[in-house]
Structure formats: structure tokens, C-alpha cells
Amino acid sequence: MEKDKEKTYKKDSLKGTLFSVLAVGGFILLSWFTVWSLFLSRI
Amino acid sequence: MIETAVKVNKKDAKLALAHIIVAFIALFIGGLCGFLQVLVRSGKVQLPGGIGYYQVLTAHGVLLALVLTTFFIIGFQFAGMSRTAGALSNKARLTGWIGFWIMTIGTALTTFYILIGKASVLYTFYAPLQAHVGFYIGLALVVVGSWISGFAMFAHYARWKKQNPGQVGPLLSFMSVVNMALWLICSLGVAATVLLQFIPWTLGWTEGINVLVSRTLFWYFGHPLVYFWLLPAYMVWYVVIPKVIGGKIFSDSLARMSFILFLFFSIPVGFHHQLTEPGISPTWKYIQVVLTLMVVIPSLMTAFSMFATFERFGRSKGATSLFGWLKFLPWNDARFLVPFIGMVAFIPGGAGGLINASHQLNQVIHNTIWVTGHFHLTIATTVVLTFFGAAYWLVPHLTGRTFTKQLNQLAIVQAVVWSVGMTIMSGAMHWVGLYGAPRRSSFSDYGGSAQAADWIPYQIAQAVGGSMLFLGIILVLYIIVQLLWFAPKGEEEFPIGEAEETAEKTPLFFDKWWLWITIVVVLILLAYSIPFTHMIQEAPPGSPGYNRLC
Amino acid sequence: MHLHKYEKIWLAFGIGSLILFLVIVGINAFVTGHQPPSSDKTVDPQVVGEIAPFNKPGLKKIGKNEYQLVVLTSAFSFDVGTQDKVVEIPKGAKVHIIATTKDVVHGFEIAGTNANMMLEPGHISETTQTFREEGEFTLLCNEYCGSGHHLMHAKIKVVDQS
């Protein structure tokens, strides 16, 4: 039952890649804005 | 398909090995220095026998950032070019040996003056601190030697092109040529400041030195330098890793494209190391900040290509879920795992780099130990672990030995020790840097400052992480020594990936070298000519040398 | 050259983020006026100690809760105008810092604030910092300047005078 629910991806799918790079991008945004807010708090 | 040698020519192997051996000797001495530094900075240890903290720090920077990297890179690229574009001609090989000896003599000279305490100026050697002239002459020899080797590589590539008209150059050779072109163009800056400013000034031929000009020439070189380190790691990722895992190169054209973008945008960006300096207009700083963020784009492309290579491979093995392809990767193969950890480290490394280069945001972290934490992720993890991972097949390939199962297990242990040690050390550096703890400083309580007292626990954490890293160095040296002289004889593959069969043909225009060089020169002139002229025209009186301070 | 659809999405997202960063720091710099320290003034480093304002380092009131802090550095000390190298600044004061060096390159960093700049012989460095919180801040040299580099420091005491 669990297996059926799980979506399957074709051989040439790059969905995993897309989600991986977007996670990387999210991490970059998060770090940048954290230090940016530190800068603003110290102005 | 173009036929290439499966094995590196024996004579070329010797040349590559000579470089790699010097690189690992530098790793040992430089790593030992780093170990001493973290101990001193913890506040619990003092150096014996009049050894200076800054003397050790200079040796650490020069031997690891300049010697280890340059020697390994040139050795790796000679091997890679011999493997993909055929054996070097006798002339090119001889040129390579001349380059090697000039670099080695230069390294020995510079190291000698650091060790006798006459050159504790750190690897950036900022004027008007003044070292013994031998320090600068040695550095100049290292750079000139690397140029000579670069010309040998250019000639080798040109010869291949001549013998294979109408074909695109082999990917690994193409990438090596891009990297040496980048290196040649950027190291003109450091050569200019050393030969035209530092040496005449140290010898007393000129009275004063223009400090801002010397720093600008240094950083014109200093930032592309980090790409000169990074690109060989990218070569391993793009060309070697797909073959190691059993997959294909995601796209040959995109790989070339990203390298050309690196060539364009890694040079006109040196001001992002000078963001808090007087004498440079903030508008010109901002222009170079914009160019700096452009150089992120090829790395974004690389991130996509890597994940895509992994996903395609996993799916070809039957992975069906969103991230199911991950489990098909060869996690117990050090040739994959060690560079893979390097890739992961580049995520926080790259994010930190963006923060550092973001104009006024630089004020938060400038010259704090955050920066040291940053480049210990990028160079000392991403690049260095990739080099270690490459050495595990390259060295035995060149010596005719094999990377045994036991050595593979040890290499995995090494990478784990490195990762844990670096997470502790670099993490502590990043965190305490945000509170203002400075880099490049011996232990100090800053006059009983409460702020400085809060930094000490982090400095102890750095010593713990740094000690683990030194253990990691001992492990990797043990493995390399085994691979050089003791591992069982046999054949070790030099893995070279191939593009997917369905991939489009790589267009020929990537070999338009004169066009690329022209664009690079135009970008450099755009970014530098006006502010640089200003520095010379509006210069304050030159500075005398200060050689007793250090 | 062909780009995969997802790669286009990724590059659009990535390049969009880079542009966002540039716009944010650009507005903050060029509109709000928070440029990194980039003073264009020069001075002869050999005689800077005799030239105003560096002949009298220290804190001077120049307006309502507005001050100028003149600092002259040399290896390995910060001259902030007081014997004990402590500067008392009223809470909430806006301080225009002007500093330079007599000899080698030094760093000027007030830990825990945005006051962080390079000092180079012959060049004057300037920055502005508002001290909103009470407490002691360490002024230290964050660029290597020789064997006593880590011993180079002073103290900023932000005091509530109301």
C-alpha cells in the first residue's frame, strides 16, 4: 500500500536534482539574510 | 571517439610525481605549523625555543596556500594532459622539468628565510612590513616556474589541436589550459608588485613603496588564485567522478561553458578583499562586487551538473523515488566519497563567500576569524579533500601500484576524521568571528576584555578540531607514502568520464582562445583602470620598510 | 547549447537571488548611505602626528550627542587620547571615527559593531558608528602588523549619562 502511494520517477527525471539545488539555494538565502540582519542590528 | 592513451606516459608520470611529492612534503610542514597555531591560540601552550607564532603562521600560509596547491595542480594537470591529449613531446616535458626545478628552488629559498625568522610577514606580505629580499625572490621564482610549466601545457594542447584538426580538445586538457591561462593572467599582478615594487624597495634602490598599489596588485592576483585552486577540483568533479561512480558526464558543453565563465569573472574582482580600505571609491568597489557575484553563476551550474550526474546514474540503476538515486552512489569508494565531502563543504563555503563579498556586509566579518573559517571550508576541505581523493588513484596510476581495500578503508577514516575536525574548527571560527574575534592573531586577553574572554572557549574548540585535522594529515601522508613506494604493484585506472550518448556534440567555438583572452582583458581594464590610475596619481608619500617589527 | 528545463529554473532562481543581494546592498549603500569605509583623504604618514586632527587624538563633541573620535595608530598601540586607553562614550552617541597609521598597515575593529576598517600609511580612514547599547567594547587591531600585533588594543566604554 505504502509503495503504491509513492510517486515514481522516470529514468530521465531530474526532479531530485531540482529539489537538491533548490535546497542549496535556500541555505544560501538563509545564511545571507542572517548575517545581513546582524549588520542591520549593529548600524 | 578520439583515441587517447589509457595510461599516462612513464616519463610524464615521473614529472607529475615530482610535483606531487613536493606538494605532500609541504602539506606535512604546513600542517604541522597549523597544529602549533591552534595550540597557541587556545592559550594553553607556548612555542619553545624562540619560535614565533607569526613565523609559524607565515610558513603555514605559504606552504599550504601557495606550495601545496600550485605543485599538486601542476602535477595533476601534466598527468591529465598526458592521459587525455597524449604523451608530452620531449621539449614540453623538458620545459615542465625546468618549471619544476625553478619552483622548487624558489620554494626552498622562501621557506629558508621564513624558518630563520627573517620573513614573518604572512603569505600576503603586506607592505610596508619588510621581509628579507630572499623571501620575495623565492616567491618570484615559484611564480615564474609555474609560468614555464603553463607554457608547456599550452604548447601540448596546441600540438593536439594541430594533429586533430576540426575536433574539440579533450575536456580535461581544455580545462587545464583554461586554468593555466587564468593563472598566467592573474599572477602577472603579484609578479609586478614583487619585481617592480618589493625587490627594488627591499634592496634600497627605491625609497618608498605605494602601499595601496601593492595591495591592489596582490588582490588582483589573490582572488583568481582561489579559482586556480578550485578549478582542478572542478575538473575532478566534472571529468573523473562520473566515471568513478559508473555514470556519464551530464554535459560536456556546460562544463566548458562554466570554465570559460570562471576565466572571465574570477579576475576583475580583487576589490572585494579591499572593501574596508581607504583610497578606493565605493562605486568601484560596488562594480567589482557585481562582477564577484557573476562568478557565482558557473558554480551554480556546477552544482546542477553534479546532482544531475548522480541522479541519472541512480535512475539508470532503477531508482524510482525522489531521492532514491542517492543510495546507488558508491559510498564506500574513497575515490568518490572523499571528493563528495568536498562538494558538500562547498555549500556553506560558497554561502560564506557570498556574505564576505557583499559590499558593506563585509564590515561584519572583515579580518575576523570567520574568514579563516570560510577558507578552511573552501580550500582546506573542498579543494584539499578533492585533491586527496584524486591522489588515491593518481599516485598509484603513476607509480604502477594499486589502491588496496585496506588503504581505501583508511582513506574513508581519514575523510571522516577530517570532516569532524573541520566542522568543529571551522564552525567555531565562523561563530566566534561574528562576535568579532580577529584572525591572524596570537593568543591575547586584550587587556582583560570581557569580550575576548568569551572567545576563549571557541579557541579551545578550534584547537580540538585542529588537532583532529593534524591527525588527518598524518593519515593521508601514510596512505600517500604507501601508494608511492609500498603498495602492491598493479594497474590503477585514471578514470576519465564520457558524455552521455544522447548528448549533443560539443561545438568547436570553445577553442576560440583569443576571443576569450580579449574579453578577459576588457573586463580587467573596465574594473581596474580608473581606480588604479587614481591610486597612482593621488598617492601619498611612499612608505619606508619596517623590517624590525616582524 | 541546450539547457535542461530544471536547470533553467535553478539558474533563474540563483541569478535572481544574486540580483536581490545586489539590490539590497546597493540601496543600503547608495540610497541610505551605508557605504563601506572608503575615505579618499591622504596625509604624509611621517609627520601625521603634527597634523590636525591627528595631533590631538581623542573624543570631541561636535553636536548634540554627536562626536568625533580621532585615533592615531602605530606598532603596537592605539592612541585614543587617554593614558589608560579607555574612551568613554555616552549611550546613543553617533561617533564619527577618523583614524590613520604612522607606520605599517593596521586594522581598526570595535568588536561587536560594524566599525571595522583598514588603516594604511598615507591614507585616512573614516566610518560612523552609533553606540546604542551600554557596555564595554574592545577596540583591537585585526590586521597583522608585527610581533606585538595581538597586544594592540584599547577600550570603548559606552556609559548611560542620563
What chain C residue is nearest to B549 in terms of C-alpha separation?
C146
Domain presence at residue B532: no
Asked if residue B2 has pLDDT above 60, the reply is no
Cis amide bond preceding C53, omega within 30:
yes
Domain assignment of residue B37, given as a range: 10-313+328-499
- Cβ pair B323:A24 closer than 8 A: no
Q: In DSSP terms, which residues pair with C87 in a beta bridge?
A: C156
Confidence at residue B281, expressed as pLDDT on a 0 to 100 scale: 97
Cell of B435: 562576535
- Compute CA distances B296 → A30, B222, B353, whole Å: 17, 17, 9
Confidence at residue A2, expressed as pLDDT on a 0 to 100 scale: 43
**Contact of C31 with C23, CB cutoff 8 Å:** no
Q: Which residues of chain B have a CB within 8 Å of the CB of C32?
A: none
Query: In angstroms, rounded to a whole number, what is the distance separating the alpha carbons of residues B290 and B294?
Result: 7
Confidence at residue B501, expressed as pLDDT on a 0 to 100 scale: 73
Q: What is the dihedral of CA B374, B378, B384, B390, to 10 degrees?
A: 160
Query: In angstroms, rounded to a whole number, what is the distance separating the alpha carbons of residues B519 and C138?
Result: 46
Question: What is the SS3 assignment for B92?
Answer: helix
Mean pLDDT of B219-225: 96
Confidence at residue B4, expressed as pLDDT on a 0 to 100 scale: 55
Query: In angstroms, rounded to a whole number, what is the distance separating the alpha carbons of residues B479 and B486?
Result: 10
- Cβ pair C18:B285 closer than 8 A: no
CB environment B66-86: b (16+ within 10 A), e (fewer): bbbbbbbbbbbbbbbbbbbbb
**Contact of B487 with B403, CB cutoff 8 Å:** yes
Confidence at residue B549, expressed as pLDDT on a 0 to 100 scale: 85
DSSP annotation of B541 reads P
- Cβ pair A21:C4 closer than 8 A: no
Asked if residue A3 has pLDDT above 50, the reply is no
**Please, where are the H alpha helices in B86-132?**
90-115
Least confident window among A17-26, B108-117, B496-505: B496-505
Confidence at residue C112, expressed as pLDDT on a 0 to 100 scale: 95
Confidence at residue B339, expressed as pLDDT on a 0 to 100 scale: 98
- Compute CA distances B351 → A22, B348, C26, C44, whole Å: 14, 5, 19, 40
**Contact of B248 with B498, CB cutoff 8 Å:** yes
Confirm or reject contact between B307 and chain A (CB < 8 A): yes
Give per-residue pLDDT as tens, C137-154. Answer: 999 999 999 999 999 999
Q: Reduce the secondary structure of B458-474 to three states and give it as a string.
A: HHHHHHHHHHHHHHHHH
Question: Which amino acid belongs to residue B334?
Answer: A
Give the total number of structural domains in chain B.
Answer: 1
Query: In angstroms, rounded to a whole number, what is the distance separating the alpha carbons of residues A21 and C76?
Result: 48
Give per-residue pLDDT as tens, B317-330. Answer: 999 999 999 999 99
Confidence at residue A9, expressed as pLDDT on a 0 to 100 scale: 79
Handedness of CA B221, B222, B225, B226 (dihedral sign): negative
Query: In angstroms, rounded to a whole number, what is the distance separating the alpha carbons of residues B257 and B305?
Result: 12
What chain A residue is nearest to C18 in terms of C-alpha separation?
A29
Mean pLDDT of B303-310: 96
**Contact of B131 with B190, CB cutoff 8 Å:** no
Q: Which residues of chain A have a CB within 8 Å of the CB of C137?
A: none
Q: Identify which has the larger pLDDT, B503 or C86.
A: C86
Mean pLDDT of C70-81: 96
- Compute CA distances B508 → B34, B262, B419, C1, whole Å: 46, 19, 41, 12
Question: Beta-carbon neighbour count of residue B448 at 10 Å?
Answer: 9
Cα three-residue angle C105-C107-C109, rounded to 5 degrees? 165
In this prediction, the answer to ipTM > 0.85 reads yes
- Compute CA distances C4 → A10, A11, B310, whole Å: 15, 15, 15
Q: What is the DSSP string of B275-316?
A: TT-TTS-HHHHHHHHHHHHHTHHHHHHHHHHHHHHHHHHHHH
Mean pLDDT of B78-100: 97
Tell which residue, B482, B302, B509, B270, has the closest CA to residue B396: B482
Q: Chains contacting A with at least 3 CB pairs below 8 Å?
A: B, C
Catalytic residue status for B223:
yes
Which candidate in B439, B494, B510, B532 is catalytic?
B439
How distant is the Cα of A3 from the closest Cα of chain C, in angstroms? 26
- Cβ pair C122:B129 closer than 8 A: no
Look up the CATH number of the domain holding residue B402. 1.20.210.10
Asked if residue B168 has pLDDT above 60, the reply is yes
Q: What confidence category does residue B508 fall into, taking pLDDT thresholds of 50, 70 and 90?
A: confident
Give per-residue pLDDT as tens, B257-285. Answer: 999 999 999 999 999 999 999 999 999 99
Catalytic residue status for B227:
yes
Q: Which residues of chain B have a CB within 8 Å of the CB of C103?
A: 128, 543, 546, 549
Mean residue pLDDT of chain C comes to 96
Query: In angstroms, rounded to a whole number, what is the distance separating the alpha carbons of residues B158 and B148?
Result: 15
Query: In angstroms, rounded to a whole number, what is the distance separating the alpha carbons of residues B441 and B487?
Result: 42
Catalytic residue status for B273:
no
Q: What is the DSSP string of B157-171?
A: HHHHHHHSTTSPPPH
The enclosing H or E element of C67 equals strand C66-74
Q: In DSSP terms, which residues pair with C125 in a beta bridge?
A: C99
Handedness of CA B255, B257, B263, B266 (dihedral sign): negative
Question: Beta-carbon neighbour count of residue C26 at 10 Å?
Answer: 15
Q: Identify which has the larger pLDDT, B473 or B505.
A: B473
Domain presence at residue B530: no
Mean pLDDT of A16-40: 97
**Contact of B56 with B27, CB cutoff 8 Å:** no
Mean pLDDT of B227-241: 97
Query: In angstroms, rounded to a whole number, what is the distance separating the alpha carbons of residues B60 and B518?
Result: 36
Q: Which residues of chain B have a CB within 8 Å of the CB of C38?
A: 277-282, 285
Confirm or reject contact between A36 and chain C (CB < 8 A): yes
What would you measure as the largest C-alpha separation in chain A, in angstroms? 57
Domain presence at residue B197: yes
Q: Which CATH architecture does the domain made up of C48-159 adopt?
A: Sandwich (2.60)
Give per-residue pLDDT as tens, B240-259. Answer: 999 999 999 999 999 999 99
Cα three-residue angle A10-A14-A16, rounded to 5 degrees? 100
- Cβ pair C145:B541 closer than 8 A: no
Confirm or reject contact between A27 and chain B (CB < 8 A): yes
Asked if residue B173 has pLDDT above 80, the reply is yes
Confidence at residue B338, expressed as pLDDT on a 0 to 100 scale: 98
Q: Which residue from A6, A14, A28 is facing B321, i.e. has the nearest CB?
A: A6
Query: In angstroms, rounded to a whole number, what is the distance separating the alpha carbons of residues B18 and B440?
Result: 32
Exposed/middle/buried for residue C12 (C-beta within 10 Å: 0-12, 13-18, 19+): exposed
Percent of chain B, pLDDT > 90?
95
Give per-residue pLDDT as tens, B361-384. Answer: 999 999 999 999 999 999 999 999
Asked if residue B443 has pLDDT above 60, the reply is yes
Confidence at residue A6, expressed as pLDDT on a 0 to 100 scale: 55
